[in-house]
Structure 1
């Protein structure tokens, strides 16, 4: 096992072929890391470098082309930025991070809280409890869940459901096959799914401008009539399309507002 300590780090960059990454809170202002693999040959390939406030951890492949299974555990101060590039494997964080960019060929991405998020997995689920800023989230095959997003959200999945809790910004979502559920929004929403149901909750008493279409399914509008907003007044704009599925737009439930 390789261990290291890196004080003064504001950005951690990780690159590995296959393995798992776990990020938890540090009890001081330094980053502390553990890198484990299969045997001494794996440990010899682990590269740990610091460049000012940037930490880089990488595991180059062996001569045969495989980097083996890598297990990385980091303890970082809150607000640290994180970049991950992985061929396959899971990422789990249990600390509030800053900017997060994670890309994995396959595997689940599970994040507690971030300042902003740019996340992609070719095959796997993505779960984020809270994003303060913008989020760009995509999965080739897997479910996406974002409990709260404080700014604009871009979401794409070829096969899987998308569930969003509270959204403060706008949303652009495209699903090839899957349901889209948004509990509460105070911003504009553009969502399209080829096959799946769409459910959207409008926050507070905001008026809503709606453009809804289902090729094969019901459209349920459970909003009271509202007059045209005055210039400068806030309102919610919803564009929703599904080739096969139901669409429902209603007031957000109290716990999601």
Structure 2
């Protein structure tokens, strides 16, 4: 097993061919890493560099008959920034992070909380409990779940459902095949799915401007009538399109 310690690191960059990455809270304010590779030859080629407040870890692919799957455990202080590039592998975090950018060709991404998030996987599910700021998430094939987002959200999935809890900013969502559910929004929503249902909850007593269309499905508006908002009154606009599915707009 390869280990390292970076006492002044504020940003961790990981480049992993294949493997599992787990991020937990550090108990001494430093970044600690444990890297367990599939074979001594691969482990000997692990590269760890520190540049001021940044630590860079490169785990090269294995050679020969080894699977090449590495198991990486990081302990980091809360607020640490994380950048991950992985050909195939899962990411799990149990600590509040800063800016997170994660890209995996194939694998699940599961995050507890972040300041901002840019999360992309070719095949796998994405789950985030809380994003304080902006989030950009996409999956080629997999479900997306964001429990809360404090700013704008951009979401794309070719095959999978999208479930959003509470949204404060705007949402731009495109789904090729899957349902879109947004429990409560105080920001405007643009959502399009070729095949799937769309459900949006409007937070509080906000007025809503609606532009809804389903080519082959029902449109249900369960909002009580409200007066037209004044020039300075807040409101949300909801643009929703589905080729085959139902649309429902209701009070959250």
- Identify the residue that residue 103 of structure 1 maps to in structure 2: 103
Q: Is the 8 A contact 2:42 2:63 kept in 1?
A: no
1:108-166 CA distance string (max 9 Å, x none): 00000000000000000000000000000000000000000000000000000000000
Question: 1:205: how far off?
Answer: 0.3
The equivalent residue for 2:82 is 82
In structure 2, do the counterparts of structure 1 residues 65 and 102 end up closer, same or farther at CA, with 3 Å as the change threshold? farther
Instruction: Say whether 1:160 aligns with 2:160.
Output: yes
Matched, 1:181 2:181: yes
Distance 2:54 2:202 in 1: 42
Report SS of the residue matched to 2:9: coil
Alpha-carbon distance, 1:68 to partner: 0.8
Corresponding residue for residue 251 of structure 2: 251
**Long gaps (5+) in structure 2:** none
Partner of 1:18: 18
Superposition TM-score, scaled by structure 1 size: 0.96
* Residue aligned with 1:100, SS: strand
Q: Name the SS for the 1:90 alignment partner.
A: strand
Q: What 5-or-longer segments of structure 1 have no aligned partner?
A: 253-257
Q: Distance in 2 between matches of 1:64 and 1:82?
A: 31
**C-alpha distance in 2, partners of 1:62/1:201?**
48
Q: Is 1:59 matched up with 2:53?
A: no
Distance in structure 2 (CA, Å) of the matches to 1:54 and 1:172: 32
TM-score by length of 2: 0.98
Q: Distance in 1 between matches of 2:234 and 2:168?
A: 12
- Going from structure 1 to structure 2, the CA distance change for 1:248 and 1:32 (only over 3 Å counts) comes to same
Deviation per CA, 1:35-60: give whole Å up to 9, x if none: 00112101101111100000000012
Deviation of 1:28 after TM superposition, in Å, equals: 1.3
**Secondary structure at the residue paired with 1:89?**
strand
* Partner Cα separation in structure 1 for residue 207 and residue 62 of structure 2: 59
Residue deviations 1:164-216 (CA, integer Å, cap 9, x gap): 00000000000000000000000000000000000000000000000000000
